[in-house]
């Protein structure tokens, strides 16, 4: 979707001489996102030079789990910012819903449906999503219908829900979560395992190839210009290589020996010499992130809802005159954000096996930064979900890598701050030049 | 169709749309006062007047962007209720706004179908079908246009105007409101839009043409309604008046016969 992706770089007037840029342009890949992928690879190569142990599969897995929480929120933040709004409350809402899950499972369920009820995790999750819808709907209503600026409403939300976390928990940590619920947070048991990871990877590859072939067939049917066949094959090939590479990486991490022994005992398996080797596979938070990304991209680019958001962000008056129900559209964006907070809160609470007072603190800034690094413009109307995911991965890579290299968190924050401002600065310069 | 033939249809055909005794006030400002105006198929009615005369407000009432405080709207003789832009579109009323009302960040097909997207059976946007339709409509209006996948921000004024007009053409407008359609355009593009107006008129579409450019109006319109401080000064048949008569009405707010000698003198001094 070239019309909604980051707008500027691909509008450079075609130059006479053939260059790498022209080749990339032929593939119709967004140059900005291409640059971010390059930056991401560069970051990890740089980290690998500093300390090669960071390139072990286990680090990629725990990095992906850590990134999932904010990346999920970033997909929604893109739409919020595209609609000329902002949501500062996401961190507090994630924390509040996270604490709510813990409260349900540690305090409410034992007294009602009993401990370890097989459906406990899904009941908790459904209640959390409902809470997210209510919170998002309330904030969205105040913003869309009462026309209170979103900055103010969600700044209030930031304080209110952080306060409610204390009210709900009585100022302490609440634990534990339901043991099945905990799997949402990843870890060796909270992963797909070897076989399912392969199935998952192959399904995604087949879907990607189908989409490419189908898009080309459609364009040919209508007689539109096609991109060169080599570009299609290249894109499909890269997509398949990335997906299958991720599966191989995830499967090459084996369960820790102690956990594998426990598993063998429980299932009456005789451990072979050298211990039972169980592939961990793709962690559930990453599966959830991939699912959310696909769904949100679909909503943003293939549905009226998404088109309405981009139209409203580009020209609110035009959207209104076109008969779009702009208030309801804005309210729906915040409801969606509430649902994403419930999902992110579930991952955060499950990882900690409970609710803590500082859960989600500072998320709003990471998430907004991810969206902005990913090419979302505060002026509205421009921003892409894949871009925001890349933005979140860049932020989290630096965060994860630098803390792996023993930098302390104030130092890491300073690096992230410089990167954020520098990326946006370079972007502005590139956009101005391309005009 | 010749000008004479057009003038004849003006007198015989039933009104496509009729606005009766429309009033709109913003706080203490009476933007439109007791205005009645009508439009017949294949007719162009020019709506002229100075800044703040009420032209835009009046047309917004018809396009559903502004509710009238009192008054009646009749489409083909029957009274209708137009309370939002969607209602207006259902009656075949399309508006091309002064500000174009395009979403700059979206491409031409997305803008053409804004609010009325073509979808598949499952309700997914059918971008290919929309692009195909856009290519066909734009092929009629502006055959050289190729930038179908670019945000309209990157298009020229004439191309943007063509996209805005394509929107009205595609949805088979019966009544077209054009608010300053040539204000932002160069001479060649203006000529293009004028040809387009004649083409649409010949297809039987009724057009309200709002313009500051008295020559635009005089060239294209069959009748001219002059507004002054929210009122209609007079609606005249173009062939019965000169551009100077119309200018006099715009500036003084009086019919040519009512103008006194001293006012005429002042007008000439100003001119």
Spell out the per-residue pLDDT of chain A, length 435, in tens.
334 433 333 444 444 455 777 777 777 777 888 888 999 999 999 999 999 999 888 889 989 999 999 999 999 999 999 999 999 999 999 999 999 999 999 999 999 988 888 999 999 999 999 999 999 999 999 999 999 999 999 999 999 999 999 999 999 999 898 999 999 998 888 898 889 999 999 999 999 999 999 889 888 888 888 888 888 898 899 999 999 999 999 898 888 888 888 888 888 888 888 788 888 899 999 999 999 999 999 999 999 999 999 999 999 999 988 889 999 999 999 999 999 999 999 999 999 999 999 999 989 999 999 999 999 999 899 999 999 999 999 999 999 999 999 999 899 999 999 998 998 888 888 878 765
A-B interface: how many C-beta pairs under 8 angstroms? 98
- Residue B28: inside a domain, yes or no? yes
- Residue B75: inside a domain, yes or no? yes
pLDDT score recorded for residue A16:
47
Domain containing B154 equals: 3-243
- Residue A82: inside a domain, yes or no? yes
- Residue A419: inside a domain, yes or no? yes
Indicate which CATH number applies to the domain containing B58. 3.40.50.300
Coil, helix or strand at residue B58: helix
Residue A349: partners with Cβ closer than 8 Å, 6 or more residues away: A98, A99, A101, A102, A177, A181, A185, A355, A359
> What single string gives the DSSP state of each residue in A370-411?
HHHHTT--TTSS---HHHHHHHHHHHHHHHHHHHHTT--HHH
Domains of chain B: total? 1
Contact: B117, A304; criterion CB under 8 Å: yes
- Residue A239: inside a domain, yes or no? no
Whats the size of chain B, residue-wise? 271
pLDDT score recorded for residue B218:
85
Best B115, B134, B167 member to test A by mutation, with max A CBs in 10 Å, is B115
- Residue A218: inside a domain, yes or no? no
Contact: B104, A222; criterion CB under 8 Å: no
- Residue A90: inside a domain, yes or no? yes
The reported pTM is: 0.86
- Residue B89: inside a domain, yes or no? yes
For B89, which of A2, A317, A323 is closest by C-beta distance? A323
Residues in B 106-135 with any Cβ partner in A closer than 8 A: 106-107, 110, 114-117, 119, 123-125, 127-129, 131-132
Q: Compute the nearest-CA separation of A380 from chain B (Å).
A: 9
- Residue A200: inside a domain, yes or no? no
Q: How many Å apart are CA A411 and CA B183, to the nearest integer?
A: 56
- Residue A208: inside a domain, yes or no? no
Indicate which CATH number applies to the domain containing A342. 1.10.3470
CA B265-B268-B271 angle, 5° bins? 155
Contact: B128, A219; criterion CB under 8 Å: yes
- Residue B268: inside a domain, yes or no? no
Contact: A319, B151; criterion CB under 8 Å: no
Residues in A 260-289 with any Cβ partner in B closer than 8 A: none
Q: Is A383 on the interface with B (CB under 8 A)?
A: no
- Residue A143: inside a domain, yes or no? yes
Domains of chain A: total? 1
Residues of B in contact with A324 (CB under 8 A): 114-115
Per-residue pLDDT at B151 exceeds 50:
yes
pLDDT score recorded for residue A24:
72
Residue with tokens 């990167």: A419
Domain containing A306 equals: 9-187+283-434
- Residue B251: inside a domain, yes or no? no
- Residue B256: inside a domain, yes or no? no
């Amino acid at each position: 979707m070239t019309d909604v992706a980051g707008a500027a770089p691909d509008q450079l007037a075609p130059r006479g001489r053939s260059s790498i840029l022209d080749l990339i342009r032929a593939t119709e890949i967004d140059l900005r996102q291409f640059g971010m992928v390059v930056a991401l690879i560069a970051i990890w190569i740089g980290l690998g030079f500093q300390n090669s142990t960071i390139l072990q599969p286990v680090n990629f897995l725990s990095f992906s789990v850590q990134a999932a929480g904010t990346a999920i929120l970033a997909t929604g933040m893109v739409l919020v910012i595209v609609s000329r709004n902002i949501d500062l409350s996401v961190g507090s809402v994630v924390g509040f819903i996270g604490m709510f899950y813990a409260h349900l499972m540690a305090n409410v369920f034992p007294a009602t449906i009993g401990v370890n009820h097989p459906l406990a995790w899904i009941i908790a999750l459904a209640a959390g999503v409902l809470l997210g819808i209510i919170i998002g709907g309330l904030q969205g209503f105040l913003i869309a219908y009462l026309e209170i600026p979103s900055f103010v409403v969600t700044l209030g939300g930031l304080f209110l829900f952080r306060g409610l976390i204390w009210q709900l928990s009585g100022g302490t940590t609440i634990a534990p979560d339901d043991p099945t619920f905990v799997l949402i947070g990843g870890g060796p048991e909270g992963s797909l395992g070897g076989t399912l990871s392969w199935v998952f990877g192959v399904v995604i590859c087949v879907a990607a190839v189908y989409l490419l072939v189908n898009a080309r067939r459609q364009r040919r049917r209508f007689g539109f210009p096609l991109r060169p066949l080599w570009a299609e094959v290249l894109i499909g090939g890269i997509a398949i290589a990335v997906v299958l590479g991720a599966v191989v990486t995830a499967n090459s991490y084996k369960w820790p020996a102690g956990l594998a022994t426990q598993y063998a005992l429980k299932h009456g398996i005789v451990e072979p010499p050298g211990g039972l080797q169980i592939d961990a596979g793709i962690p559930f938070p990453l599966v959830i992130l991939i699912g959310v990304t696909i769904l949100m991209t679909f909503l943003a680019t293939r549905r009226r809802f998404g088109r309405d958001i981009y139209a409203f962000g580009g020209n609110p008056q035009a959207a209104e005159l076109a008969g779009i129900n702009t208030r309801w559209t804005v309210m729906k964006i915040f409801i969606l954000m509430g649902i994403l907070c419930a999902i992110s809160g579930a991952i955060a609470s499950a990882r900690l096996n409970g609710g803590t007072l500082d859960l989600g603190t500072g998320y709003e800034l990471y998430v907004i930064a991810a969206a902005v690094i990913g090419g979302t413009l505060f002026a509205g109307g421009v921003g892409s979900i894949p871009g925001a995911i890349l933005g979140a991965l860049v932020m989290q890579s630096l965060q994860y890598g630098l803390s792996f290299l023993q930098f302390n968190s104030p130092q890491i924050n300073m690096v992230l701050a410089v990167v954020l401002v520098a990326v946006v600065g370079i972007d502005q310069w590139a956009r101005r030049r391309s005009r | 169709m010749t000008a004479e033939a057009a003038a004849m249809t003006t007198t015989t055909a039933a009104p496509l749309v009729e606005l009766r005794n429309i009033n709109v006030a913003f706080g203490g400002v009476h933007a439109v006062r007791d205005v009645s105006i009508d439009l017949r198929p294949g007719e162009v009615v020019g709506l002229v007047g100075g800044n703040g005369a009420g032209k835009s407000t009046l047309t917004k009432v018809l396009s559903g962007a502004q509710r009238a405080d009192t008054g009646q709207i009749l489409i083909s003789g029957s009274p209708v209720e137009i309370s939002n832009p969607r209602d207006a579109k259902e009656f075949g009323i399309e508006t091309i706004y002064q500000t174009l009302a395009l979403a700059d960040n979206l491409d031409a097909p997305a803008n053409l179908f804004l609010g009325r997207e073509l979808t598949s059976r499952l309700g997914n946007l059918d971008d290919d079908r929309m692009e195909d339709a856009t290519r066909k409509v734009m092929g009629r209006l502006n055959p050289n246009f190729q930038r179908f996948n670019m945000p309209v921000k990157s298009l020229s004024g004439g191309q943007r105007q063509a996209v805005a007009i394509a929107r009205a053409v595609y949805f088979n407008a019966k009544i077209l409101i054009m608010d300053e359609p040539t204000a932002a355009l160069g001479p060649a593009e203006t000529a293009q839009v004028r040809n387009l107006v004649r083409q649409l008129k010949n297809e039987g579409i009724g057009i309200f043409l709002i313009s500051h450019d008295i020559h635009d109006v005089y060239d294209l319109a069959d009748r001219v309604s002059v507004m002054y401080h929210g009122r209609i000064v007079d609606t005249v048949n173009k062939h019965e008046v000169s551009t100077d008569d119309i200018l006099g009405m715009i500036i003084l707010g009086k019919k040519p016969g009512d103008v006194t000698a001293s006012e005429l003198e002042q007008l000439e001094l100003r001119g």
